[in-house]
Structure 1
């Protein structure tokens, strides 16, 4: 998704609306097209605190930035970027998100989120029996499935072993091996009707028959337990994805584990050796999480297996590398307000969304008036060929005599032709259907919902000034992104010759500091560091030193070879740059000796070393030239009388 929100801070979000035009004070024109004073007043007041350059905080300075912004919008429209499919799709997506704040569905979503929060306090251990019957099954097959599950439930209620019944009759894959056992699950883990039945059934009891998209179920609840709250941990990570390393990651993590057992400080080791740089500077501390939050189940399991505050895990392997984890805190359960945003997102993305949609549609119909006209099934059952089931149906024009009105919402009529166009597009992304009638029912429900919401959003832009202003901010923000992407970012990124020429002209701006090719020895005590000094003086290799001073039971020294800039964190503070073996430096509860093999003088970095920074600077130059061309291309005239009035108003 385009991250245009940060862009908008730079682009000075516009707020042009139908309401802004009521106040006919024209601040300026761009090729004769008016820009109104209250648009400028709005963005100036809104964004003034975001402007970092003090010279641009006065109205005249800010006006120049505003003109640049409006020129970019004008150029985006000149290039037709407001008509592209990507732009239309992105804008529609943002409009949907924004309108949720005004639609009635938020209230319903909030109630379902509260229900989910309460359910989420428990995990449920349950078993189930499934008799398959999807929503497209023939009536006689549906009835047969229902009668079958009904008979099984009666036998279970009389005391027959539930697991044996599941092995005999359940049509769930793997039922014969597991006996219907699902283990522990919590809210959002199962389809909503199944989840609801499980939470409403007491421990030891069997649920009523439940219908889902899979078929008919009965559920036996074996246990309910309180869900685990979040934990806070610190970790030390050694990545095994960091290219060709000069040491073995597994060996390094085992060395660190041994040092921790010897009583070395966890935070100091994390700062010195952890490859997770974001947490390393904090002594390895991570944000609180619960199971399922991270993309590393092995890490989560290891963290939750730690019982007491301060307990430290054995080395744990994940997709990110090797970790040692320390339990820092077990947190209380979060409040509803703390979880609200995440819960409402899940409500609106899952099966619960159908409940939200139904309630929202009802409210819109009541607000604007809704009337159903002609039935769609008799006509469309004949009009649609069977190739719709293969997603290859092609629409043929509907005559004016046949093109009836399906329904009316407010002053808008939805016709057979409108529905047919919807079917044409919708079939491309539909799931396979067996029956044309089932497809039509689902497509009509979707079509009606879309028409109702679109009408609501259209009216909202006329009825609500704040909504209209914010919506236009999204509209223009997306245009700014697209015009910059096309004319600056992609152009710069793909111009390898231009980047090389820019680098050649400015390579003096990209310089290495003084560097050393060195081996860094971190010892656990000053006495051991003295031994390192002695052995280096005797000409011992780093491998010989490690073998002598470390053992399987105890790690006394860790060696890090590499090339380091003089202020790099691996080197001790106030390190004296000279070739050969250094003195002993205290550093992060260790004692460090550095054997400098070579001193590398400051010099230019290669283009490959600084390509990202060079590209950014090159694009800035492109933008500067581009803006100069826009000022020449468009005729901008500022109304000095209106500007004077604006200054008076804002002061």
Structure 2
């Protein structure tokens, strides 16, 4: 091969390499940028890409836009506050994952398979599949990156269950809770007559009708028969408006407040809720026994104890962690 041929071949190879380099350079730059650290926790990196996925997921969940994010509260914008909160959450999660690793807590093959099956189920349905694809695009994540976030979340959940498993409620604690929260364990049985309000235009008319029916009840007419005739609650009207038994927290507040303030046999005034206007009659009231609600109280106490204990561990772990944040990288993330 003569010198001239070698020069030509060298030029061709150089040109091809240059074309390849030009083509891949944006991807290389993007990869390097996305893998910059927003924080380092005990020597482990939280990447800009992972932060961006979680930040955009929060923004998407609450439906926030750039105009809202740019607003200030005090000396910080909502964007700054949300970014700081998301980063703090990721730092805590990184610490939790490190604690899980120390305890050899991982997902089993079956648990990982269940995640894959769930993702495939999303994708197989035409509507949820399109929504899932759009969601990934919105948060800037690949399917594998999304799966990685789910895996990490489940590992943290397993860590929580493992370290809090000995937080149990004693019989004495259960009894004390019952005695100090007795009013929470009262059941009321009530009936109502409902006058639905679909828009503000008919509000006065419906209130007037409710007041008229209330006067009929006060004059001695049967509540149950009036409910069958006038109530617009199709589920209960044929039963004379009977709603059965319920406890606090099961009805809208205005309805609940009125019902629990009445004695057996008493009739309320006209009560307005988001559904419309109600006339309420309490037909029974009873105190649940400790034996009726023991399991519920046990679950409540244990949930509280587990959360308090876990938060004390988080505080301890966080105090012992070495954390470094990179504010310039944090600022470079945008929706």
Higher RCO structure, 1 or 2 (CA under 8 Å, sep 6+):
2
Which is greater in Rg? 1
Q: TM-score, normalised by structure 1?
A: 0.28
